Amino acid sequence: MPGFCLRYHGMFRYVKHLIGAGKIGPPALMWRNSIGAAIGVLAPAQWVMQKRRSGGMLVENTMHVFDAFRWFAGEYDSVYAKTRTVSKGIEIEDTAVVAMRFKSGAYATITQTWAATHSWDAWGVMGVNGTVTVDGYIGGPMKASWKGESLRVVDVKEDAIVMYRKEMESFVRCILGGRKPEVDVTDALKAQEAATAALRSSEEGRPVKLPLKA
């Protein structure tokens, strides 16, 4: 079972619920701004900065967002990206801007850097019926609104360790019950494909269609 932990976090599951329940409806636009690092602290492990071992920032970290956006909006149609390395002495890209289109017609953007001198995070989903915005990543104020309802602030106080525990509990239940996992190898391949398409797009200077061709 791939470790896409965001699928087990309360904030992301709430957005998935709002989409499925028709509150905000199918996504039209999604965004993720990650300035600094994943959860405010850049991983100190040197292997992360080695391209052959981690695959780079988009593969090692942004992979989770590629999966979450696909979970929300369905299959990818195309990816266009620009990446660069700002920091000295590392082998990977540490700054990227990615624009994505989904087969559903939805659009998404990711702006990410590990080179900033302080962190700022935000993400959100605008659906055809409503909108969710988050000032943070897996914490911080979460605002939701949809047609016919007033703006509401949803306070999800959930430490990161909770989503990891839920993820492991789900995995164990699958083993004990002989069930297929909620997240499977196809999800991992699709997320990897999106990350690969972004890197290829940056190298070739053009949008890359999905699924990828050899």
Residue 134 DSSP one-character state: E
Which region holds residue 150: left if phi is over 0, alpha if psi is between -120 and 50, else beta? beta
3-state secondary structure of 88: coil
Distance from C-alpha of 74 to C-alpha of 192, rounded to nearest angstrom:
15
pLDDT of res. 6: 96
pLDDT of res. 88: 86
Taking CA atoms, 114 is separated from 51, 160, 174, in Å, by: 15, 20, 36
107-113 and 120-127 beta bridge pairing: unpaired
pLDDT tens sequence for the chain (214 residues): 999 999 999 999 999 999 999 999 999 999 999 998 654 455 557 788 889 998 999 999 999 999 999 999 999 999 999 999 998 888 899 999 999 999 999 999 999 999 888 889 999 999 999 999 999 999 888 999 999 999 999 888 888 899 999 999 999 999 999 999 999 999 999 999 999 999 999 999 999 999 998 6
pLDDT of res. 43: 55
107-113 and 27-35 beta bridge pairing: parallel
Residue 212 DSSP one-character state: P
The two structure tokens encoding residue 129: 């019926």
Taking CA atoms, 29 is separated from 104, 109, 128, 179, in Å, by: 11, 8, 9, 34
- The structural domains of the chain, ordered by start, are 5-202 (3.30.360.10)
